[in-house]
Amino acid sequence: MKVLKSGINYIPKGENLLSNGLEFILDNKLWSYSCLESFENCHYYWYLNYIVLKRSEESGCFAEFGSLGHSLLEAYLKGKLFSFELADKFTEEYKEQVPDTFPPVRGERLYDKYYDQGLEYFADTDRVEKLTDTYEILGVEDDNKFHIENYKFTGKLDAECKNIKTGELELLDHKSKSAQHKKRLMKKTDHSEWLQLEDGRYVPRKLFHQQYLYCIPFKNKFGEYPKYLNLNMFRINDWYKLKFNEKDFEIAKQWAIDTIKEIYNECEWKPTKDGTDFFCQYLCSGSPFCKYSPNYIGEK
């Protein structure tokens, strides 16, 4: 058994790119939340995206819609766009940036549905202005470098805020996801995998992993952890507010460490999803180069 300089045990399982160059590649890697989430989605996708294709960002209709929403909110919070300009800017850039490659859904055309939902949000100036009426914006899309144990991380915090009414520091992230909450949990549900919001609803623990990791650079900058973590679910007109909890913070950090260890010990790089899976067919940006995907077009 080989011990890497990072202190992680690595057991070779075969001759491939990573078993020959793993130490050099991973010991010098700048990790991110999206990188770890990608590995959870599919091991082979991670190999394609970060080793073969050497990309750091995903593409596709869902990712581009989210990026457009983030860029407009960033421009507003930085004072580069007025609230009344957002709807027109969204309409203009939606047609240019978001590809019409949404999956087929019976009775709906998702390209139009996402456009309508985005326009509804950005046309509601009162709703958008509530962000700056509620918070003093302390930072927007700041690049941050930080450590989790000995691992180097990078991440952009959508917005660092101070609640004008209470004076409490808060962290804000914009999400274009669909609804993630439950009003109550069944007895058979694993309650440890859910977090309770301030309004009593429950959301999957993993939904807040990214924000909990970003609490590290937040404290580095402000000297304290945020009092609340917020998700502006702009596509579905919802808001998820969670009180910072030290135990949940430690769980998120341990998830990151454990995922990195899994990456170090992975050598087979087999797909962890079926080729007919929704992720494989419609979400995976590496599917054109994935030999397990129905969208495979050949090697890069």
Residue 297 lies in a domain: no
Provide the whole-model pTM: 0.88
The answer on 116 and 83 residing in a single domain is yes
Whole-number mean pLDDT of the chain? 89
The answer on 143 and 124 residing in a single domain is no
Q: How many structural domains is the chain composed of?
A: 3
CB within 8 A of 52, min separation 6: which ones?
A: 289, 300
CB 136 within 8 A of CB 167: no
Q: Which of 106, 128, 150 is where one domain is finished? A: 128
Taking 70 as the threshold, does the pLDDT of residue 21 lie above it?
no
Q: Which range marks the domain in which residue 141 is found?
A: 135-250
Residue 185 lies in a domain: yes
Q: What is the mean pLDDT of residues 66-90?
A: 97
The answer on 203 and 175 residing in a single domain is yes
What gap in Å lies between CA 99 and CA 117, rounded to an integer?
A: 16
Tell me, what's the pLDDT at 59?
73
Residue 299 lies in a domain: no
Cα separation values, 64 from 74, 93, 95, 141, 196, Å? 15, 10, 11, 17, 30
Strand order in the sheet with 228-233: 135-148, 151-163, 169-175, 228-233, 238-243
Tell me, what's the pLDDT at 217?
98
Instruction: Please write down the HEC assignment for all residues of the chain.
Output: CEECCCCCEECCCCCCHHHHHHHHHHHCCCECHHHHHHHHHCHHHHHHHHHHCCCCCCCCHHHHHHHHHHHHHHHHHCCCCCHHHHHHHHHHHHHHHCCCCCCCECCECHHHHHHHHHHHHHHCHHHHHHHHHHEEEEEEEEEEEEEECCEEEEEEEEEEEEECCCCCEEEEEEECCCCCCECCCCCCCCHHHEEECCCCCEEEHHHHHHHHHHHHHHHHHHCCCCCEEEEEECCCCEEEEEECCHHHHHHHHHHHHHHHHHHHHCCCCCCCCCCCCHHHHHHCCCHHHCCCCCCCCCCC
Tell me, what's the pLDDT at 176?
96
Tokens found for residue 299: 């090697």
**One-letter amino acid identity for 170?**
E
The answer on 124 and 165 residing in a single domain is no
The answer on 157 and 212 residing in a single domain is yes
The answer on 90 and 120 residing in a single domain is yes
What gap in Å lies between CA 86 and CA 91, rounded to an integer?
A: 9
Residue 88 lies in a domain: yes
- Tell me how many degrees the CA angle 62-137-71 measures, rounded to the nearest 5: 25
Q: In terms of pLDDT, which residue wins out, 65 or 8?
A: 65
The answer on 147 and 224 residing in a single domain is yes
Q: What is the mean pLDDT of residues 215-238?
A: 97
Residue 294 lies in a domain: no
Least confident piece of the model among 54-58, 124-128, 153-157, 255-259: 54-58
Tell me, what's the pLDDT at 290?
83
Q: In terms of pLDDT, which residue wins out, 55 or 299?
A: 55
pLDDT in tens, 199-213: 999 999 999 999 999
The answer on 39 and 7 residing in a single domain is yes
Tell me, what's the pLDDT at 57?
64
Q: What is the mean pLDDT of residues 29-55?
A: 89
Tokens found for residue 142: 């700041």
| R_g over Cα of the chain | 20
